[in-house]
Every structure is written in C-alpha cells, then in structure tokens.
Structure 1
C-alpha cells in the first residue's frame, strides 16, 4: 500500500536521504506494522539542531536536540481522517548517532523513520514490556528493508 507522505527538508546537512527513500521507509513501517488497513497520511520534516532543540524544549521540556519527535494527530470527536501526524527528524543528531554507533548513516535514517512511525501508531518504549514489542517490530520492519538489527552491538 502506498501512503501519502509530505516531506519537508528544512536542513542544509549534506547526505540527506532522498524523498524516495523516506517514502519507502514510511511505506515499509506502515505496511509491515500489521496495524494499517488503508492508506495513511503523515508529514516528515527534516531539521537542523536548532529547530529540534526548540521543539524538544517546548513539547518535552528537554533543552537539547533529539533524533526524532513524533506528533500524533488527534482528530476532534466525530471527524475521521487517515492523518497519522508529524515526524520531525534532526539530521545532525542522526548523523552523530550513526557515527557513534558505527552504523551506515542511511540505515540509521531508516531506523529513525520506522521508530517515529511506530510512535505515531501508538507504540512506546517507556516500559520494558512495551519497549520489547516496539523494538521487535522495528527489527522485523528493518529486516524487510535489508537493514541489520539496530539494537545489536556494533
């Protein structure tokens, strides 16, 4: 199934994923999650550290940039839309984490997209049991994309 992804590049970082890659990763996350029966719509915004830090401070009370922020859409009562919400991904943090973890940068991008989409679907990793479920979904989806388990030691 093909989903509608509004992709916004608000970063001048080199080596950003292509729109096609982002679309492919979103489609994989939604189609392989087992939760979706019809096309969905979401926005993926790629930002630099300043915007990520501002949003992380405003919405999570954390004064630092972060890899991915997920903003699920909550429709008003009586309104039904296939709008999942928004993902904001910080290019600088994704690159730094990929380097620190000795992973191919595009594999880490794919992981952050999949991770964020699963958050939009209601998955979380605060409790250990929930984290196990979410991580196993991520591993399965990334495997379908030919990407190794992101949680294995590198």
Structure 2
C-alpha cells in the first residue's frame, strides 16, 4: 500500500464570478475529511465545483428536471461495467455548489455563511456515499449524521427553524 498519497485529492474548481467569496481550499478539505470514512483508499479523488446560478440551474434542469438553481448537486462516480478490477479507481464523484444560493440561504436562515458552507459540503458528501433524504427514515438518518458532524465543528443543528439543505 502506498503511503505517500494524501487521503483525499480535492479538485477544487472556482467557476464563479466571485471567487473571493468562496471558502478556502483548506476549510473545504477539512469539511470533506470530516464527512468521509477514515478507511478511504489513499488518493481518493473528489471534484468540487463552485458555480454561479446559471450553471447550477442548467445542471439542475439537465439532471433533476428542475429548472432553477439549487444549493448543492451530487454526482456519485459510477464505474463503467467493463472496467477491469485491477484499474483501482478511487473516484468519489463530483459536487457542484452554487455560491449565490449559499450566501442567500445563510442570510435567510440567519446563520454564518461558513457554517452553511460546511453543512452543504458535508450534505453533498453524504449523498456521494449513498445517503439520501427521500423517505422520513432516510432523512432522519442523514440529518442525524449531519448534525453530529457539524457539532464536531462547533456548528449548531442546521435543521432548527426553517433551515434546510439540498
């Protein structure tokens, strides 16, 4: 087993007109590592793309049939059926987060914007790991994990009052 690989390769793409409003790569990486299992294969790769509303709306429409921007979209990696087992790809998937939505939602929910960033990164990573919130029981499990992970960062329960993610 190679030990020189970091636990996570983060491909951070700032595809926004306001990159200065994005959290630091170090903060994003810390949130990612918190939300991922400690037994990740070394060198696991994640792409996180921060976009403006037009790109978020286009992707949301193309992949979810919803013609409006959204805060976070998750695209888990699906290996091709004919991929040889020895290929050893460690691709987690892609997250797309809409900068203007994050800022607007944080203001609406009266919470620090970095707290909302942390929540949405963690929320998206849980989706990439197979968690969902389509049923009440799935939502309860996923939200419980989010609340516990955010508490480790000193961030309050994001689901108190009208707080919602993804």
| TM-score, with length taken from structure 2 | 0.85
- Does 1:70 find its partner at 2:65? no
2:15 matches 1:10: yes
Matches within 5 A, 1:1-154: 2-13=7-18, 14-31=20-37, 36-39=39-42, 40-77=44-81, 78-79=84-85, 80-153=88-161
Structure 1 residue ranges without an equivalent (≥5): none
What is the Cα deviation at residue 48 of structure 1? 0.2
Structure 2 unaligned regions, length at least 5: 1-5
Taking the aligned partners of 1:92 and 1:7, their CA distance within structure 2 comes to: 17
CA shift for structure 1 position 146: 1.5
How far does the alpha carbon of each residue in 1:98-129 deviate from its partner, in whole angstroms, 9 at most, with x for none? 00000100000000000000000000001000
Q: TM-score, normalised by structure 1?
A: 0.92
1:88 is paired with a residue whose SS is: strand
Matched length: 151
Larger Rg over CA atoms: 2
Runs of 4+ in 1 over 6 A off after TM superposition: none
Deviation at 1:22?
0.7
2:3 aligns with: none
Provide the rounded CA distance (Å) in 2 between the counterparts of 1:143 and 1:12. Answer: 32
- Matches of 2:59 and 2:80 in 1, distance apart? 23
